[in-house]
Amino acid sequence: MKKIIVRIVAVIVIGITLYITSIYYITYSEGYRAGKLVKISHKGVIFKTWEGEISQGVSDAQTFKFSVEEKEKNVIESLKNLQGKSVKLTYKERFSTFFWLGDTKYFVTKVEKTE
């Protein structure tokens, strides 16, 4: 009986570990978005995350919301300095996210100023 319980617990632990690892390391897509940087903010009560938004057109429906991981210090500083300017973002999309990483599935890895 103990062996069965140990095996069930081991399978559950391995399953959870594989799930968390796959969400963090496996990307669904990678790409680029360009537009005017509308906002970048550091928000949250317990877990602070960096969230941003670019406008890709005239209406509010054409916005791209994204997150930036805390370890991307250069990207965060660039976004702070480029507020209100036209930018090109390089991002990766994950299958899902965790509350301590950000609000969206889109994570910016590089930012460039465009003319």
Three-class SS string for 53-77?
A: EEECCCCCCCEEEEEECCCCHHHHH
pLDDT of residue 56: 85
CATH code, 28-113: 2.40.50.140
CA 68 → CA 27, 53, 102, distances in Å?
A: 15, 11, 7
**75-98: per-residue pLDDT in tens?**
999 999 999 899 999 999 998 888
Q: What is the pLDDT of residue 53?
A: 94
- pLDDT at 60 exceeding the cut of 70: no
Going by pLDDT thresholds of 50, 70 and 90, the confidence category of residue 67 is very high
pLDDT at 51 over 70: yes
Task: Please give the mean pLDDT across all residues of the chain.
Answer: 90
Q: Tell me, what's the pLDDT at 11?
A: 95
pTM of the predicted structure, to 2 decimals: 0.81
Percent of the chain, pLDDT > 70?
98
